[in-house]
């Protein structure tokens, strides 16, 4: 069995793990159990994120490139708008293109709709993209979309080789733009031992 290198795009530089990060870590762990030659590589927008540390602990390769999202959280709308307008698309695509040229992955995995630039760079190079949609892409998500909801989802559809929702509800929520038959459902992997431990001992 040959080596298959997969680039996982981390959307966040946060110091804590959210649900999307936990889900991706679980998915890759399960995949590696089934395929011994799988080599995950994580790219993050900044060094020192919780996801970077967790991936390294799990034996992934990690790297960093300067990129931002095409969404901003809406608590301070005017500041968020300014940040989105300042984002240099070409610069971010080039930075992630350099990562792709170095890593040479067989697949790029986008984890959430928060940032698209690696998918753009992968599309330019003919590298397949699996794009996980883990959120309701509307006001419920609490963020501003630079391109607007419909255009954002059209871009996801155009750039992704396969779109994967984390629930049937999410798949149906985007079906007005991305046809449901284009979207698979990949339910998050649940670590039952960790859930039991947290239930019995409380989470820290």
pLDDT of the chain along its 204 residues, tens only? 589 999 999 998 888 998 889 999 999 999 999 988 999 999 999 999 999 999 999 999 999 998 988 876 655 555 555 555 555 788 899 999 999 999 999 999 999 898 999 999 999 999 999 999 988 887 665 667 778 889 999 999 999 999 999 899 999 999 999 998 899 998 776 555 554 555 566 544
CA distance 135 to 122: 22
pTM of the model: 0.84
Q: Which pairs from 49-57 meet CB under 8 Å and 24+ separation?
A: 49/10, 49/12, 49/13, 49/14, 49/15, 50/14, 50/15, 50/16, 50/17, 50/21, 51/10, 51/12, 51/14, 51/17, 51/21, 51/25, 52/10, 54/17, 54/21, 54/25, 55/8, 55/10, 55/25
């Amino acid at each position: 069995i040959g080596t298959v290198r997969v680039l996982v795009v981390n959307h966040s530089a946060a110091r804590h793990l959210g649900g999307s990060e936990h889900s991706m870590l679980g998915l890759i762990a399960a995949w590696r159990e089934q395929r011994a030659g799988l080599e995950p590589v994580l790219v993050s927008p900044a060094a020192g994120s919780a996801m970077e540390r967790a991936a390294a602990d799990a034996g992934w390769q990690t790297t960093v490139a300067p990129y931002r999202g095409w969404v901003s959280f809406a608590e301070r709308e005017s500041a968020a708008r300014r940040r989105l307008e300042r984002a240099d698309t070409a610069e971010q695509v080039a930075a992630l293109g350099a990562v792709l040229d170095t890593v040479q992955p067989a697949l790029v995995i986008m984890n959430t709709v928060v940032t698209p630039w690696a998918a753009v760079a992968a599309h330019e190079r003919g590298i397949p993209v699996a794009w996980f949609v883990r959120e309701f892409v509307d006001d419920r998500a609490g963020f501003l979309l630079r391109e607007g909801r419909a255009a954002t989802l059209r871009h996801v559809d155009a750039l992704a080789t396969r779109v994967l929702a984390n629930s049937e509800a999410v798949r149906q929520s985007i079906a007005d733009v991305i046809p449901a038959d284009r979207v698979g459902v990949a339910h998050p992997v649940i670590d039952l031992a960790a859930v039991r431990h947290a239930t019995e001992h409380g989470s820290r």
